[in-house]
Amino acid sequence: EDKVVQSPLSLVVHEGDTVTLNCSYEVTNFRSLLWYKQEKKAPTFLFMLTSSGIEKKSGRLSSILDKKELFSILNITATQTGDSAVYLCAVMYSGGGADGLTFGKGTHLIIQP
């Protein structure tokens, strides 16, 4: 059964700290890995990763994929209270002539002032 596991499940840090969120996966016919930030209701897209070793960066956020070891990390540097959210990892895969998408349970990140 395909699965996506995120760790830690929750994390509390102070403003200014750097955090690393982890996502490991086991899927057949991997296509891409996606990161989302969910604050109140709807998730917002952060990154899509398809190739190993190529870092995607957006401001203080960055992410990288390791397709050999089947994991991805999301880094947030100089954290701010506005970074508090649930960070979701999702993996897209191909199978049976169609694509599928499996989400992890998320990492609940709390940034304390």
* Cis peptide bond prior to 8, omega within 30° of 0: yes
Q: Name the residue nearer to another protein (CB basis): 1 or 113.
A: 1
Please report the DSSP string for the chain in residue order.
Answer: --EEEEE-SEEEEETT--EEEEEEEE-SSEEEEEEEEESSSSEEEEEEE-STT--EEETTEEEEEETTTTEEEEEE-S--GGG-EEEEEEEEEEETTEEEEEE---EEEEEE-
Q: Is 106 in the site for another protein (CB under 8 A)?
A: yes
Q: Name the residue nearer to another protein (CB basis): 30 or 71.
A: 30
Q: Name the residue nearer to another protein (CB basis): 58 or 113.
A: 58
Interface residue with another protein, options 22, 67, 92, 108 (CB under 8 A): 92
Q: Is 74 in the site for another protein (CB under 8 A)?
A: no
Quick note: the x/- pattern for another protein over 12-41, rule CB under 8 A, is -------------------xx-x---x--x
Name the site residues for another protein (rule: CB under 8 A). Answer: 31-32, 34, 38, 41-45, 48, 88, 90, 92, 98-106
